Amino acid sequence: MALYGSGIARLNYQAETATLNNLIRDWEGKPELITAISEFNLGEWMAELKTANEEFNTKYLSRTQEYGDASPETIKLKREEVNVAYYALRDRIDALHLLVETPPSPYVTIINQLNAFTDQYNALLVNRKPDSTDSVNSGQSSSENQS
């Protein structure tokens, strides 16, 4: 595993899948690694890892093909529709939260969950584009909008 490093989970999807494929190929093909897998009873774990990696790769490729088949106009239109719907929902939840007459507001949990999703999504964007952290972090997060 030292050959592949400790940051496999931080790689992009394609690199992670390829790295796991290479790692599994080593485990299945090198006699000293075959012995180690057997001695540590890791056969089932390795088989599960291999299956999960193959299933992920199949789904990833299928989704990529769907994106490729979709017209850019349709994708752009759907993103715009989703943005409008999200902001409308967020604004309604914020308004209902502000109108609660007797604290505590029942909307605090959903506001916190939306903020957590936003934070996770922003972190994902930062990891995908290491050179663009300033543009992601300069935007206003929903937590700033949800007092």
- Sorted by where each begins, the domain ranges of the chain are 8-68, 71-145
Q: Is the pLDDT of residue 139 over 50?
A: no
Res 99: pLDDT: 93
Higher-pLDDT residue of 136 and 1 is 1
Percent of the chain at pLDDT > 90 equals 60
* The token pair that represents 57 in the structure block: 């790769």
- Give, in order, the Cα–Cα distances in Å from 74 to each of 64, 67, 84: 15, 10, 15
pLDDT in tens, 104-119: 899 999 999 999 998 9
pLDDT band of 135, cuts 50, 70, 90: very low
Q: Is the pLDDT of residue 134 over 50?
A: no
pLDDT in tens, 116-133: 998 998 888 888 765 544
DSSP per-residue string spanning 73-87: HHHHHHHHHHHHHHH
What is the rounded average pLDDT for all residues in the chain? Answer: 85
- Map residue 100 onto helix, strand or coil: coil
Res 141: pLDDT: 41
CA distance 62 to 48: 21
Count the neighbouring beta carbons within 10 Å of the beta carbon of residue 107.
19
pLDDT in tens, 29-73: 999 999 999 999 999 999 999 999 999 999 999 999 988 888 888
